[in-house]
Amino acid sequence: MESLLEKIRPAALYITHGDSSTGSVQKIEGLGALCHKYGAMLLVDTVVSLGGEPFFMDEWGVDGVCSSTQKGLSGPAGISPVALSKRAQEVMKNRNFKPPFYLDIELLAAQWNCFGNTRQYHHTLSPPLLWALRSCLKEISKETLPKVWARHARNTAHFYKRIEELSLEFLIPNSEERLVTVTTVVLPKDYDYVEFVHYMRNKHNILISLGVGPTAGKAVRIGIMGFNSTIQVADAIADAMADTLIALKKSLP
């Protein structure tokens, strides 16, 4: 990584913290200092990790973060939290081009009073979505972040145990590299992934996802996060998967 940063000297390194397609988590710690050493900003996608995996923007020297509300934060989709470091704000203020209006985060920041009491108009905010996000953050604050992270770790570890008891394989062998919010499981040979997901949905009313991109046809993706990160939910999914394995086994040739 360092040799590439030194060679390419990019303006920014963009990386996902949690990767939903493979169900892996990337270690961000240390990457900020490395990027800054070569004049690059570190931008991180925490869409599927925030609220599940520990994440420390300032400590890790992250300059830009984008996330979502409908994953670990337990909210509805439709609004995307973003955060910029002081360094990123400086870059934004000193840029010598004008981005399209809709993508002009400086105007957006002015609406949010980030630079004094400007309350400049950028777009009409969505009150119900803002309220929903506020309510989700309030729930997390009540539980406290360390406890939220511990709960995710505990319940997903329990789910791992159940998956192992079913003799199923994980797409990511090393449990420390697995994303706590999304678990990718490889089905035994001859099982049809589409059929498996459909059976889970139709018979058990549980929606799990097919692989996507690099994992299409190679894994099922099981999201256990936010409000749903409980032992009960983990057990319900594992029980349903056990039944589905048996049910679809019979129909195999």
185 within 8 A of 170, measured Cβ to Cβ: yes
The pair of three-digit structure tokens given for residue 159, joined into one six-digit string: 């789910």
Residue 202 C-beta: closest distance to a copy of itself, Å: 19
The distance of closest approach from Cβ of residue 170 to a copy of itself in the complex, given in angstroms and rounded to an integer, is 25
Shortest Cβ 131–a copy of itself spacing (Å): 10
Nearest residue (CB) to a copy of itself, 68 versus 85:
68
Token pair of 147, please?
Answer: 């406890």
Based on CB atoms, which residue is closest to a copy of itself, 212 or 252?
Answer: 212
DSSP structural state of residue 16: E
Is the separation of the CB atoms in 209 and 184 below 8 Å?
A: no
> Residue 3 carries which side chain, given as an amino acid letter?
S
Q: Which is nearer to a copy of itself, 115 or 131 (CB)?
A: 131
Sorted by sequence, the CB contacts under 8 Å of residue 234 that are 6+ apart come out as: 155, 156, 158, 159, 162, 224
Q: Would you say 126 or 175 has its CB closer to a copy of itself?
A: 126
Nearest residue (CB) to a copy of itself, 127 versus 253: 127
Residues that bind a copy of itself (CB under 8 A): 68, 70, 76-79, 100, 102-103, 124-129, 132
Q: Look up residue 161 and give its two tokens.
A: 């145990």
Least Å distance between CB 251 and a copy of itself? 27
Q: Which is nearer to a copy of itself, 23 or 32 (CB)?
A: 23
> What minimum distance in Å lies between the beta carbon of 76 and a copy of itself?
5
Q: Read out DSSP for 106-174?
A: HHHHHHTTTTSS-----S---HHHHHHHHHHHHHHHHH-HHHHHHHHHHHHHHHHHHHHHTTPEESSSS
Amino acid at 30: G
Report residue 142 as tokens. 């009540």
Using the minimum distance from each CB to a copy of itself, give the nearer residue, 124 or 202: 124
**Tokens at 128, concatenated:** 């119900």
Q: How far is the CB of 108 from a copy of itself (least distance, A)?
A: 13
- Which helix (H) or strand (E) element contains residue 240? helix 231-250
Nearest to 43 by CA among 111, 114, 108, 92: 92
Q: How far is the CB of 128 from a copy of itself (least distance, A)?
A: 5
